[in-house]
Structure 1
Amino acid sequence: MISFLQVEGLTKSFGDLVLFENLTFGIFEGDRIGLIAKNGTGKTTLLNIITGKEDYDSGNVVYRRDLRIGYLPQDPHFPEGITVLEACFHSDSEVVGVISAYEEALISGDSGRIEELVEQMDHLKAWDYEYRAKQILSQLKINNFDQKIEHLSGGQLKRVALANVLISEPQLLILDEPTNHLDLEMTEWLEEYLKRNNITLLMVTHDRYFLDRVCSSIMEIDKRSLYSYNGNYSYYLEKRQERIDAQNAEVARANNLLRTELDWMRRQPQARGSKAKYRIDAFYELEKKAKQEHDTGNVKLDVKSSYIGSKIFEAKHLSKRFGDVKILEDFNYIFARYEKMGIIGNNGAGKSSFIKMLMGQLQPDSGEIEIGETVRFGYYSQDGLQFDEQMKVIDAVRNIAEEISLGDGRRLSASQFLQHFLFTPETQYNYIYKLSGGEKRRLYLCTVLINNPNFLVLDEPTNDLDIVTLNILEEYLRSFKGCVIVVSHDRYFMDKVVDHLMVFKGNGELKDFPGNYSDYREWKNLMEEQKKLEVSEKNKKTKNEAKQIREVTTTSKRRLSFKEKREFEELEILIPRLEEEKSNLEVELSSGTLSNDELLEKSKRISVLIDEIDEKTMRWLELSEIES
């Protein structure tokens, strides 16, 4: 196997906080590695070290010479003022560097340099770079190449950054949370793209279906050490549990031995002469091992929910649009007690707008939402809570409540409550600006739940949360004695939590589906297959009809009437014109310069043209048989 990257003895710390120490691993051609760790334990830091964006304390990071690397950061940034297409040239990749050098050589007229760069352009296939950029942007549903980068949504910006990385065709692709802000359609597109292309991959993601279907090995950072598992996410779960069980068994054995040694250590001092020093040292090693019992660090979300009545909320004739974009039209719905609804749909279809209308942050154009008197919302927004970064973690919670009720007369202090969320006593007195993105999200989740809501509204709760936190949040939501609405692109999360889906299809069209996401995907695939079968059957029927016409015309020869002869001549002129119009439309549709409205209009026209060409061609064949 060809070695792409070797990391040896890598250690990184921030002051007294050691993220990891003595990490050693290699990446070889064809590897597809998923990196897993709790929030705040150094996943993004490790990626930044590998890509040369951050320094480290000790160790070595060695790349294969001339290795092409593509890196997608968790939160990509581009300079304001540049267009979408220009953003694809805003890269330090070798291809972009050669293109820039070639353009400079053309301006300066350096013929020797131009000749040298032409060879490099050929080698790197840089001549069609802009075409490839437009092609991938179109596949990622970015069609306005001249739109300014600052006008893009978070999801669009992530897709442009993704295109920026993919068009350079890297040999090693490093992705930090690639599915964050991507809708389900784009997530599945990226999943298929990575499975289809032979790219060596190292990525951090909380999307467990993505890990399971794309990765061939998993690396986990746990307690500053690295553990490798040669399999996908399902295999990792199995083997990780075996490792934890083995560690716990070893700790139990150490505890038993420790009791025996403790008796010996407690004897009078003269029993411990110089010859027994090895036994004293062994005692302290045992004591250290006995204290290493594995702690999975589960977030225990056993917070009491307040009583909720039978009336939850009712949407009556709800309509909303933004300009020409229709979000809802005459929408009616009665939400049931203890209902757990998942909301899915492409970005821009109106999911977050619907949530904001429910929360009273956005007014509908018409209609109303009636909310029951006992409903007590807990709202986790996509934008997150704007903390005072100079505030300490413990103070952020105490500002909301000094104590939290667990029911049955049990209460927790703010500090105890935070410990359930993996905030150690030391971390609680850290300033919020020192927390990682995922830790801030976890703190935000904590502030939502401490008010004992009975109706949780969660808008993209999975972004930036680690897998351990997600697992416990899922278990909590499944047993939550209240109502839940979840907007999420995390398929695994939706499968475990919701009992039905509201699918936002766009243009105000909604579908209420009774099942989880996998159920819906299976049903959708079945419908698509059925549609293909119907088209195939229609084409087969058309061919059979044409064959029958030929057979009839062969057995009963007759001459064309004057009217038929004129129709035949008109068809010979009309069909090429229709074919030409169809060909021109196909060129426009693939140009990538059309707006969404123009794409829709021209797609409808090309569909009409295809039917018309088929019909006219069939008639021409019929008449030509008679003519011959």
Structure 2
Amino acid sequence: TEEGDIVKSGSVHVEFLHQDPELPAGQTVLEHIYSGDSAVMRTLREYEKALQDLNEAPENAVLQKNLLTAQGKMDTNHAWDANTLAKTVLSKLGVNDVTKPVHELSGGQKKRVAIAKNLIQPADLLILDEPTNHLDNETIEWLEGYLAQYPGAVMLVTHDRYFLNRVTNRIYELENGSLYTYQGNYEVFLEKRAEREAQAEQKETKRQNLLRRELAWLRRGAKARSTKQKARIDRVEALKEQDGPSSSGALDFAIGSHRLGKQVIEAEQVTISYGGNTLVDSFSELIIPGER
């Protein structure tokens, strides 16, 4: 069950990128990029429409006047910077045909168009769900740099640890119903989480030792007649009901400073045994980029 309340100011605008965005049919790429209720987006739509109409009939005096009016609104609403930003973002994301209907795009192209829309829209909070899916390494690196300079707040969910390390300055960890907050990037998170887990293990060791002593006291036949003795029995029951820290038993791989280099992973004389059985014996392998 997921429930709760989200309270925000009415003036706060939130942009949300879905992991697998579904774009509305009937729109071109440019129409979708500029969709939105802000004055800047409305101005950009009017300007692009006037520009397109005049390109189709350049001698039409009415269309020339419409373009001049649209240009005046661009000046009034300070929309030229947004127009330049939109073209830059589209270019960096590899979106070249802005007249193409969005329903004709592939999954990867839809993700890029959706990212472009989210980045261009004026927003106080940008929420990104797996933003690096369907993106190549060069585009991801550009997005990292862009988000590092983003004027609003960014909240993201991603399995890309390198991306987390480059972009974030605060990490939330949800584990066994508890939420932990760490100030810093992914490297700091790993360090602070290890410290937290070590402290939890020390606390659990103390609990187990205390529980053993109290249980030994009970086994000696202590009589629960006094208030003090009743309190000690209650403490034993409370200690027994407490849950100690859990261990996932997962194997984690440290990440380097680059996603791909001349080699992806190299194994040298790897042997794995479990329960007295050898699963892997003296395994060596080199995997390079492009191999499957």
Provide TM-score, normalisation by structure 2: 0.71
The whole-number CA distance in structure 2 between the counterparts of 1:480 and 1:200 is: 49
Give the 3 Å change call, closer, same or farther, for CA 272–176 of structure 1 in structure 2. farther
- The answer to whether residue 27 in structure 2 is matched with residue 82 in structure 1 is yes
| 2:29–2:102 contact (8 Å) kept in structure 1 | yes
| 1:70–1:174 contact (8 Å) kept in structure 2 | yes
Aligned amino acid, residue 67 of structure 1? V
SS of 2:117's equivalent in the other structure is helix
Give the 3 Å change call, closer, same or farther, for CA 169–253 of structure 1 in structure 2. same
The whole-number CA distance in structure 1 between the counterparts of 2:189 and 2:195 is: 10
| 1:76–1:158 contact (8 Å) kept in structure 2 | yes
> Which residue is equivalent to 2:18?
73
- The answer to whether residue 168 in structure 2 is matched with residue 215 in structure 1 is yes
- The answer to whether residue 95 in structure 2 is matched with residue 173 in structure 1 is no
> Which residue is equivalent to 1:292?
244
Aligned amino acid, residue 87 of structure 1? H
The whole-number CA distance in structure 2 between the counterparts of 1:64 and 1:71 is: 17
SS of 1:286's equivalent in the other structure is helix
| 1:341–1:502 contact (8 Å) kept in structure 2 | no
The whole-number CA distance in structure 2 between the counterparts of 1:480 and 1:173 is: 48
Q: Which string of whole-angstrom CA distances, capped at 9 and with x for unpartnered residues, describes residues 74-114 of structure 1?
A: 11111234221122134466754787899xxxxxxxxxxxx
Give the 3 Å change call, closer, same or farther, for CA 68–296 of structure 1 in structure 2. same
Give the 3 Å change call, closer, same or farther, for CA 120–270 of structure 1 in structure 2. farther
The whole-number CA distance in structure 1 between the counterparts of 2:200 and 2:126 is: 34
Deviation of 1:256 (Å) = 0.5
Give the 3 Å change call, closer, same or farther, for CA 216–407 of structure 1 in structure 2. closer
- The answer to whether residue 98 in structure 2 is matched with residue 145 in structure 1 is yes
> Which residue is equivalent to 1:309?
none
> Which residue is equivalent to 1:183?
136
The whole-number CA distance in structure 2 between the counterparts of 1:277 and 1:140 is: 69
> Which residue is equivalent to 1:554?
none
SS of 1:218's equivalent in the other structure is strand
> Which residue is equivalent to 1:258?
211
Aligned amino acid, residue 248 of structure 2? T
Deviation of 1:273 (Å) = 4.7
SS of 2:7's equivalent in the other structure is strand
Aligned amino acid, residue 292 of structure 1? G
> Which residue is equivalent to 1:20?
none
Instruction: Flag structure 2 segments of 5+ consecutive residues without an equivalent.
Output: 48-71, 253-261, 266-272
| 2:34–2:42 contact (8 Å) kept in structure 1 | no
Deviation of 1:240 (Å) = 0.9
- The answer to whether residue 110 in structure 2 is matched with residue 157 in structure 1 is yes
The whole-number CA distance in structure 2 between the counterparts of 1:66 and 1:97 is: 18
2:288 to 500, 515, 519: 500
Give the 3 Å change call, closer, same or farther, for CA 68–407 of structure 1 in structure 2. closer
Aligned amino acid, residue 173 of structure 1? L
Aligned amino acid, residue 19 of structure 2? Q
Aligned amino acid, residue 16 of structure 2? Y
Q: Which string of whole-angstrom CA distances, capped at 9 and with x for unpartnered residues, describes residues 28-49 of structure 1?
A: xxxxxxxxxxxxxxxxxxxxxx
SS of 1:62's equivalent in the other structure is coil
> Which residue is equivalent to 1:46?
none
| 1:83–1:149 contact (8 Å) kept in structure 2 | yes
Structure number with bigger Rg: 1
| 1:85–1:133 contact (8 Å) kept in structure 2 | no
Give the 3 Å change call, closer, same or farther, for CA 122–65 of structure 1 in structure 2. farther
| 1:84–1:146 contact (8 Å) kept in structure 2 | yes
> Which residue is equivalent to 2:64?
none
The whole-number CA distance in structure 2 between the counterparts of 1:97 and 1:284 is: 66
> Which residue is equivalent to 2:68?
none
Q: Aligned runs of 1:319-334 on 2, under 5 Å? A: none
| 2:16–2:127 contact (8 Å) kept in structure 1 | yes
Give the 3 Å change call, closer, same or farther, for CA 144–279 of structure 1 in structure 2. same
Deviation of 1:164 (Å) = 0.3
Note the aligned Cα RMSD (angstroms): 3.9
Q: Aligned runs of 1:200-211 on 2, under 5 Å? A: 200-211=153-164
The whole-number CA distance in structure 2 between the counterparts of 1:282 and 1:122 is: 73
Aligned amino acid, residue 21 of structure 2? P
| 2:44–2:79 contact (8 Å) kept in structure 1 | yes
Aligned amino acid, residue 202 of structure 1? M
| 1:213–1:232 contact (8 Å) kept in structure 2 | yes
Q: Report how many aligned residue pairs link the two structures.
A: 252
Deviation of 1:296 (Å) = 3.0
